[in-house]
Amino acid sequence: MNTDTVKVGHAVFGGRDAHEHKQSEAFKLIDARLKRLHKAGFSSKGFGPDFDIKDVDISPDTRLQLSFADFENGDWSRPPAIEPIRLKALILGVREATESERSLQAERFKKMGDKVSAETPKLHPARN
């Protein structure tokens, strides 16, 4: 039985900044280009301020906007636009990173097990 304590930095649980911290760590494993869920198609210079002129990147704010409907300023909030192909690419990127990490973890556990097995006779010599 392993009794080692795993230490986790405060940033993981530190309120609103914790989400940003975890996203930052996740996008070290996932292609950072997959953060963009919607690319603005228009510029306010040519079409005026009522057109969608914002790129939508994954962020704690985006997460909240996609999770909850809200009534603000006399109107229901609208979630940001998401391009299905970009969302699918993100999901596939996460799946790939997760599978890669899972196989690396299995390999690390096997190496640890092999090391423990190799050291076991030294720690507990057979009695004659």
pLDDT tops 70 at residue 128:
no
Overall pTM surpassing 0.75 (yes/no): no
What is the total count of domains within the chain? 1
What pLDDT sits at residue 95?
93
- 107 inside domain: yes
Alpha carbon distance 46, 89 (integer Å)? 30
Domain of 27, in residue numbers: 12-123
Tell which wins on pLDDT, 91 or 15. 91
The token pair at 90 is 């993100």
72, β-bridge pairs? 75
- 33 inside domain: yes
- 6 inside domain: no
Percent of the chain with pLDDT over 70: 77
71, β-bridge pairs? 76
Radius of gyration, CA atoms only, the chain: 23
Residue 17's pLDDT band (boundaries 50, 70, 90)?
confident
pLDDT in tens, 49-102: 666 667 788 887 887 777 777 777 788 877 777 888 988 999 999 999 988 888
